[in-house]
Amino acid sequence: MTKEVLLKVEGLVKHFPIVKGSLVRRQVGAVKAVDGLTFNVYRGETLGLVGESGCGKSTTGRAILQLHRPTAGVVEFEGKDLVRMKGEELRHMRRRMQMIFQDPYASLNPRMTVGEIIGEPLIVHGIMTKKEAENRVEELLALVGLNPAYANRYPHEFSGGQRQRVGVARALALQPALIVCDEPISALDVSIQAQVVNLLEDLQGQFGLTYLFIAHDLSMVRHISNRIAVMYLGVMVELADRDELYTNALHPYTQALLSAVPIPDPVAEEKRRRQILQGEIPSPINPPSGCRFRTRCPLAADICAQERPAWREVGTEHFVACHMVKA
């Protein structure tokens, strides 16, 4: 059975300009947050996107949804290039793509009731009347496990986990095909994290949703994802099926990340060898030449400083960007 590509990203670049001067403003550099990503997301799957803080994961998600307009590249969603779209055409496409934000405390307007927050997309896009939206809000609250009677309450009256459920309900309101989950559980207690992840999985099965799940908790990503992509300093270093990545990681950075994941087996934990990376992550303003990871890589050679490694397929649906990995 062939997989249907829902989202196709080619050469995605997002640089944030650095400007100086009080009277004459001029650009003196750029933060290279995302620097050339190419990957597909298939309909109905969950693609996990992992990496250290500051590697460009959230910027990638926002650039895909055009919340940050890309500097270069192609973002093709359901066969249409979002980067070329503007105005009403892009607004119409936004119904099909939604986002669940990282911080449930900052992403909900404190001056609006939960009912107004969830119903706002329906009113803004002119899909329902105010009365119809109120009924739909009650359905959505029940769908995410909240009492429909809570529609008249304000965000400050809810716990963190409940607020994130409100965020999920808002994302579902327009019946999207793709939801970008930007670290939706990192601000929650561990006991609540599992509830939110289970909710997302249930909703995916019920509505055939596609997720781009951004996180840095590798064990949680393994639980929810079909495939996993690994980012480092604005570039993607490896992309593979979940089980393939965890059993046969090829890139040295992926191997180091996985070696830091705790194993709930004292004997196995005692035997395994941790890979401790040396040095600090370079600045995205002035990243290293060639391979971005070479300054911390135990396998780095001369070619790593001279040439940027090509993004290539070395196995079935297993992509890697490393000179030291042989096809």
Query: Is the CB of residue 318 less than 8 Å from the CB of residue 251?
Result: no
Structure tokens at 92: 């119409």
Q: Of the candidates 225, 101, 90, 96, which has an alpha carbon nearest to the alpha carbon of residue 172?
A: 96
CATH topology of domain 5-309: Rossmann fold (3.40.50)
> Which pLDDT belongs to residue 214?
95
- Calpha distance 144→150 (Å, rounded): 12
> Which pLDDT belongs to residue 186?
86
Triad 181, 312, 304: Cα angle to 5°: 100
Structure tokens at 305: 């400083």
Backbone angles phi, psi at 124, to 5 degrees: -60, -40
- Calpha distance 199→104 (Å, rounded): 16
Residue 1 has pLDDT above 60, yes or no: no
Q: Of the candidates 235, 259, 237, which has an alpha carbon nearest to the alpha carbon of residue 324?
A: 237
> Which pLDDT belongs to residue 131?
87
> Which pLDDT belongs to residue 192?
86
Residue 250 has pLDDT above 90, yes or no: yes
- The percentage of residues in the chain with a pLDDT greater than 70, rounded to a whole number, is 97
Q: Order of strands across the sheet with 178-182?
A: 97-100, 178-182, 210-214, 46-50, 227-232, 235-241, 318-320, 312-315
pTM: 0.91
| Strand-pair partners of 48 | 213, 228
> Which pLDDT belongs to residue 182?
94
- The total of other beta-carbon atoms located within 10 Å of residue 235's CB is 23
Residue 265 has pLDDT above 70, yes or no: no
- Calpha distance 250→326 (Å, rounded): 9
Burial class (CB in 10 A: 0-12, 13-18, 19+), 26: exposed
> Which pLDDT belongs to residue 269?
62
Residue 150 has pLDDT above 90, yes or no: yes
Backbone angles phi, psi at 142, to 5 degrees: -65, -35
More confident position, 148 or 219: 148
Element spanning 223, H or E = helix 218-224
Residue 188 has pLDDT above 90, yes or no: no
| Per-residue burial over 78-114, b = 16 or more CB atoms within 10 Å of its CB, e = otherwise | beeebbebeeeeeeebbbebbbbbbbbeebbeeeebb
What would the DSSP string read from start to end of 74-141? Answer: EEEETTEEGGG--HHHHHHHGGGEEEE-S-TTTSS-TTS-HHHHHHHHHHHTT-S-HHHHHHHHHHHH
- The total of other beta-carbon atoms located within 10 Å of residue 230's CB is 26
109-178-232-309 Cα dihedral, nearest 10 degrees: -150
Residue 276 has pLDDT above 60, yes or no: yes
| Per-residue burial over 179-200, b = 16 or more CB atoms within 10 Å of its CB, e = otherwise | bbbbbbbebbeeebbebbbebb
pLDDT band for position 281 (50/70/90)? confident
